Amino acid sequence: MKIDKLDFIFSPTDLYKINICFDKSNNDFYIKRDDLTGLAMGGNKARKLEYFIQDALDQEADYIVTYGSTQSNHCAMTAAAASKLNLPCLLVLAKPDKEPTYTGNFFLYDLFDAEIVYTSTEEVSETIDEEIEKLSNKGYNPYFIYGGGHGNLGTHAYVEAYQEIISQAEDLEVNFDYIFFASGTGTTQAGLIIGKELQGGSEEIIGISIARDKQRGTDVISDSIKDYCNQFNIEISNIERKINFIDSYIGEGYGIANQEVLKTIKLVAKKEGILLDPTYTGKAFSGMLDYIEKNKIKDKNILFIHTGGTSILLDNTEQFKEIEERI
Ligand SMILES: Cc1ncc(COP(=O)(O)O)c(C=O)c1O
């Protein structure tokens, strides 16, 4: 189905085979460069924002409001998209325990002149309601985007991206057996699953959780799929069975990378010149390699979707000094 969107990203994003051998099982690895979507420092959020900002304009909104953490890719990308369309942007941020460093996404918020309101994690939704009310009282027509670009429009962006992947696979004459990526709110994963169902695809879609446990992650993805199907009159059966959300690589939690993740980031940087980040794509890539080994996956075509996050790599860089061995 066709949904109107703005056109401010580079797509199709490149999809190509990576030449370094990541394991001894004769698997071929491919990467889709959704980190190079062209808005700010790129990433999956740019695809979603083409739909959200179009919807905001359709509703004659004149203020964009969203929320996230002090190092949120979604907030930085929303601030960039809003600024590009000449719309002011207000970010409700969960107040961190210590003063944030003026780097990465926190720096980007400022660069795009986003307005920041801090709140505690428990009071996020209350604060959002209050800020929206304040803006409305001042005569604005604010448009709210859920954290991470969650919602049917965000899901739709990855229904479309799935079609893009399949047409690139046809051009390369390859059938992917697996598609791996970092899964947070699960919106990207919901979109890919729906895309696959609509096209009758056969790949196994595997989201590597960066924070949520399996039950919660699966429930949220399932709800996203159901919401989308209800809105667009689509039938997908046995939804839960189609969701493969792996929570074995969360480690100590959101934003905390262990040695394996840091080493993987360094390996991929050195061998391919591709930058992953410690919170999302590094965790997912390193999780993917372990999953392949543990499940004895051999002779397969494996696609990794690089969903962005480059700006986070440039925050908290000291942790890389702790990598024990040389790669
Ligand atoms: C770089 C990156 N990768 C993956 C994700 C997860 O995307 P989703 O929330 O659609 O699961 C995010 C979300 O913040 C992200 O910033």
Segments making up each domain of the chain, as ranges: 15-43+151-322, 45-149
Residues lining ligand 1, Cβ inside 6 A: 43-44, 73-74, 148, 182-189, 280-281, 307-309
Q: If you measure from the C-alpha of residue 308 to the centroid of ligand 1, how many angstroms do you get, rounded to a whole number?
A: 8
The confidence band for 138, taking pLDDT boundaries of 50, 70 and 90, is very high
Q: If you measure from the C-alpha of residue 83 to the centroid of ligand 1, how many angstroms do you get, rounded to a whole number?
A: 21
The confidence band for 25, taking pLDDT boundaries of 50, 70 and 90, is confident
* Residue 72 designated active-site: yes
Region for 294 from its dihedrals, namely left if φ exceeds 0, alpha if ψ lies in -120 to 50, beta otherwise: alpha
CA dist., res. 38 & res. 42, Å (int):
5
Q: If you measure from the C-alpha of residue 138 to the centroid of ligand 1, how many angstroms do you get, rounded to a whole number?
A: 33
Q: Which atom of ligand 1 lies at the shortest distance from residue 73's CA?
A: 16
Over residues 295-321, mean pLDDT: 95
**How many residues make up the chain in this entry?**
327
Q: Which atom of ligand 1 lies at the shortest distance from residue 48's CA?
A: 10
Q: Which atom of ligand 1 lies at the shortest distance from residue 308's CA?
A: 1
Q: If you measure from the C-alpha of residue 286 to the centroid of ligand 1, how many angstroms do you get, rounded to a whole number?
A: 16
Q: If you measure from the C-alpha of residue 307 to the centroid of ligand 1, how many angstroms do you get, rounded to a whole number?
A: 7
Q: Which atom of ligand 1 lies at the shortest distance from residue 188's CA?
A: 10
Over residues 189-214, mean pLDDT: 98
Over residues 187-212, mean pLDDT: 98
The residue nearest atom 6 of ligand 1, judged by CA position, is 184
pLDDT at residue 108 greater than cutoff 90? yes
Q: If you measure from the C-alpha of residue 290 to the centroid of ligand 1, how many angstroms do you get, rounded to a whole number?
A: 20
Q: Which of 156, 188, 208, 304 to mutate to test the pocket of ligand 1 (most atoms within 8 A of CB)?
A: 188
Please provide the average confidence, as pLDDT, over all residues in the chain: 96
pLDDT recorded at residue 22: 76
Answer whether 15-43+151-322 and 45-149 agree in fold. Answer: yes
Q: Which atom of ligand 1 lies at the shortest distance from residue 187's CA?
A: 10
Higher pLDDT, 96 or 56: 56
Contact at 8 Å (CB) between 127 and 117?
yes
CATH class of 45-149: alpha beta
Q: Which of 44, 180, 205 to mutate to test the pocket of ligand 1 (most atoms within 8 A of CB)?
A: 44
Q: Kindly report the number of other CB atoms within 10 A of residue 88's CB atom.
A: 17
pLDDT in tens, 59-71: 999 999 999 999 9
CATH architecture of structural domain 15-43+151-322: 3-Layer(aba) Sandwich (3.40)
Tell me the CA distances in angstroms from 324 to 256, 260, 283, one per residue in order. 17, 10, 18
- Catalytic residue chosen out of the listed positions 11, 69, 72, 222: 72
Q: If you measure from the C-alpha of residue 244 to the centroid of ligand 1, how many angstroms do you get, rounded to a whole number?
A: 16
The residue nearest atom 16 of ligand 1, judged by CA position, is 73
pLDDT at residue 322 greater than cutoff 90? no
pLDDT recorded at residue 325: 65
Q: Kindly report the number of other CB atoms within 10 A of residue 230's CB atom.
A: 10
Q: Edge-to-edge, what's the strand order for the sheet holding 89-94?
A: 115-119, 89-94, 63-68, 142-145
CA-based nearest residue to 162, from 20, 325, 34: 34
Token pair for 141 = 């027509």
The residue nearest atom 7 of ligand 1, judged by CA position, is 184
In this prediction the pTM is 0.97
Q: Which of 185, 187, 243 to mutate to test the pocket of ligand 1 (most atoms within 8 A of CB)?
A: 185
